[in-house]
Amino acid sequence: MMPCDDWEAAERLTEEFKAVGFYLSGHPLDDYMGALNRKYMGKAVRFLTLDDLTKHVSERGAMNACIAGVVAGKQERKSARGNRFAFAQLSDPTGGYEVTIFSDTLEKARDHLEVGAKVVVTVEATMEADQLKLLARSVAPIDLAVADVSNMGLRVFIDTASAIAAVADVLEGARTAAKAAGRGPVQLCLMDPGLPGEVEVDLGMEFPVTPQIKGAIRSLEGVMEVEEI
């Protein structure tokens, strides 16, 4: 059998979902969670994971919140009055959920609800007979939602010297392509067995740092982990 390159992280997750109907090695939103938490920190409407939202509504009652999701499906219906509404199935790193979308919101949100799309949904959350009910009030592409998030940096843990060049290629490509993207510092933590110990290298300049860039670096061979700083 001829050797072949491993899938990138995003492609692997897509193929996992196609094969078994859920994600095995991670979730497509993993690299967005830090940016989303910073985006909504201190806001009147909080960003919560599905688990946290369920717990909050169970213990304290109905609330408005923002929740992220990857769209897994959508079914549109027509009411007795002729108004269109929809049920959309989504998931975040803590589980799957469904939101109801009435006609006024659906007209604005329909283009963002294609299967595989990553979105942020503002919802009214209630608990009915121990079942979480979510009514969507707005839907936005996740990349648009985090576009103005304050800069973050990355610490990249590497265990093979060859990965340094690959990380450099990703960062240089991002620096060349980015226009208004926020920038942050990048540190490399080298953990090669040939070194006397862990060596930390600050690259000495700031690079465009987004969830997509974080995910691209994390998928490289020889990269053990990527942390936000």
Q: Taking the model in full, what pTM does it have?
A: 0.80
| Nearest CA-CA partner of 72 in 57, 56, 92, 49 | 92
**Residue type at position 71:** V
Q: What is the pLDDT along the chain (229 residues), one digit of tens a residue?
A: 454 555 455 555 555 455 445 454 579 999 999 999 999 988 999 999 999 999 999 999 999 999 999 999 999 999 999 999 999 999 999 999 999 999 999 999 999 999 999 999 999 999 999 999 999 999 999 999 998 776 679 999 999 888 999 999 999 988 887 655 578 899 999 987 777 788 899 999 899 888 989 999 999 999 999 999 8
**Residue type at position 166:** A
Paired with 87 in beta bridges are: 75, 100
The half-sphere exposure of 174 on its side-chain side, counting CA atoms within 13 A, is 23
Cα-based angle 89, 133, 98 (whole degrees, multiple of 5)? 0
Parallel, antiparallel or unpaired: strands 199-208 and 183-190: antiparallel
3-state secondary structure of 104: helix
